[in-house]
């Protein structure tokens, strides 16, 4: 038992857990994106889809608790790893080029990751909280999102965060595969390309939603 907890708190154990939780979070984002893309088909289908998920609320609650654990564990491991590295290597600008690159990458990952975490708190306290506790009268799920993004500040905030999410994903995906030891010379370029494709799909997919609703509101349909 103590060897498991030793491994979990070791640098390699933390990296492994980060990779695993990160890949599971990507899986969640794929499902989340697909659900959100129903917004483009129209209010009826989107509202029906949310109502369908509402009907299995106990199961959704379990998934949400698992997601919260994944997010917290992922962020905690990332921050403690970064802090331990920082303590161990106070002189970050090593002469070796690849070491310098990897330091810059990990700093960039910590910065984008922290911003995404802050975004998540804002996101849950607006959209998730409204969906679960703040629906007013005849307001529909679709309207909540349309009203939010008719405000240019909210639309811009979400759009910028989706670009940062793309940068985070682009490096995170290949990094997770590397940590797991799946970095065969022949297949790794494919892993890198897949990571970039996921990053672009997330940025365009999620990022187009605030832009679409903002433009719709300008056209007077909002």
Binding footprint of ligand HEM on the chain (CB under 6 A): 29, 32, 36, 50, 53, 64, 67, 116, 120, 123, 127-128, 131-132, 145, 158, 165, 206, 209-210
Q: Judged by CB, which is closer to ligand HEM: 120, or 160?
A: 120
Q: Judged by CB, which is closer to ligand HEM: 50, or 215?
A: 50
Sequence-distant (6+) residues with CB within 8 A of 73 are 17, 21
Q: Does residue 173 contact residue 191 with C-beta atoms inside 8 Å?
A: yes
Q: Judged by CB, which is closer to ligand HEM: 116, or 172?
A: 116
Nearest to 160 by CA among 216, 198, 104, 122: 122
Nearest-approach distance from CB 67 to ligand HEM, in angstroms: 5
Q: Judged by CB, which is closer to ligand HEM: 64, or 143?
A: 64
Nearest-approach distance from CB 103 to ligand HEM, in angstroms: 25
3-state DSSP call for residue 204? helix
Whole-number CA gyration radius for the chain: 20
Q: Judged by CB, which is closer to ligand HEM: 20, or 102?
A: 20
Distance between CA atoms of residues 126 and 128, nearest Å = 6
Sequence-distant (6+) residues with CB within 8 A of 28 are 67, 70
Nearest to 160 by CA among 114, 93, 207: 207
- Using the CB atoms, write b or e for 78-95: b if 16+ within 10 Å: beebbeebeeeeeeeeee
Instruction: Supply φ then ψ for residue 105, to 5 degrees.
Output: -60, -45
Nearest-approach distance from CB 189 to ligand HEM, in angstroms: 27
Nearest to 18 by CA among 87, 84, 75: 75
Q: Judged by CB, which is closer to ligand HEM: 58, or 90?
A: 58
Q: Judged by CB, which is closer to ligand HEM: 17, or 25?
A: 25
Nearest-approach distance from CB 121 to ligand HEM, in angstroms: 10
Distance of CA 97 to the CA centre of its chain: 29
Nearest-approach distance from CB 123 to ligand HEM, in angstroms: 5
Nearest-approach distance from CB 107 to ligand HEM, in angstroms: 20
């Amino acid at each position: 038992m103590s060897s498991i907890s030793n491994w979990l708190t070791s640098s390699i154990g933390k990296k492994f857990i980060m990779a695993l939780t990160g890949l599971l979070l990507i899986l969640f984002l794929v499902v989340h994106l697909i659900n959100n893309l129903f917004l483009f088909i129209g209010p009826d289908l989107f509202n029906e889809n949310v109502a369908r998920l509402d009907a299995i609320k106990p199961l959704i609650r379990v998934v949400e608790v698992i997601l919260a654990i994944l997010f917290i564990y992922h962020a905690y491991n990332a921050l403690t790893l970064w802090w331990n590295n920082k303590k161990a290597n106070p002189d970050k600008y090593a002469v070796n080029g690849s070491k310098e690159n990897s330091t810059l990458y990990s700093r960039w990952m910590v910065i984008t990751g922290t911003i995404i975490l802050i975004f998540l708190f804002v996101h849950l306290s607006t959209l998730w909280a409204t969906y679960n506790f703040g629906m007013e009268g005849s307001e529909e799920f679709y309207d909540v999102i349309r009203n939010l993004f008719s405000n240019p500040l909210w639309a811009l905030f979400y759009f910028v965060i989706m670009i940062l999410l793309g940068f985070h994903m682009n490096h995170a995906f290949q990094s997770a595969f590397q940590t797991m030891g799946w970095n065969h010379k022949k297949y790794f370029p494919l892993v890198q390309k897949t990571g970039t494709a996921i990053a672009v799909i997330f940025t365009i997919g999620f990022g187009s939603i605030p832009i679409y609703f903002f433009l719709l509101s300008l056209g007077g349909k909002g």
